[in-house]
Amino acid sequence: MSKTWEHYQGAARHHEWAAYHYKEAAKYHASEEFEKAAHQAYLAHGHSQHALLHDAEGARLFAEQCDGLATSVLEQVGDEKTAA
């Protein structure tokens, strides 16, 4: 399993947890249990931030991988031109 895929999977899990906590916060807010609502919103925010970190790291790894592929293709084209 690639590190890029692992980061995107981690981000997806954290997005799911954030959605769950936001839903719980909305339920507590509707029942006027504001301290519990605030706690759930705090947890949701933390999961959202963690998901963003995973998304950013996954994107960075993917960009590095693509850059490496582009570099190898350019090297192959350069080798073909010098051979001709």
Q: In the predicted model, is pLDDT for residue 12 greater than 90?
A: yes
Domain spans of the chain?
Answer: 3-83
Q: What is the pLDDT of residues 32-54, one digit of tens each?
A: 999 999 999 999 999 999 999 99
Confidence (pTM): 0.74
Q: What is the mean pLDDT of residues 17-42?
A: 98
Q: What percent of the chain has pLDDT over 90?
A: 71
Q: Rounded to whole angstroms, how far apart are CA atoms 64 and 50?
A: 21
Band (29; pLDDT cuts 50, 70, 90)? very high
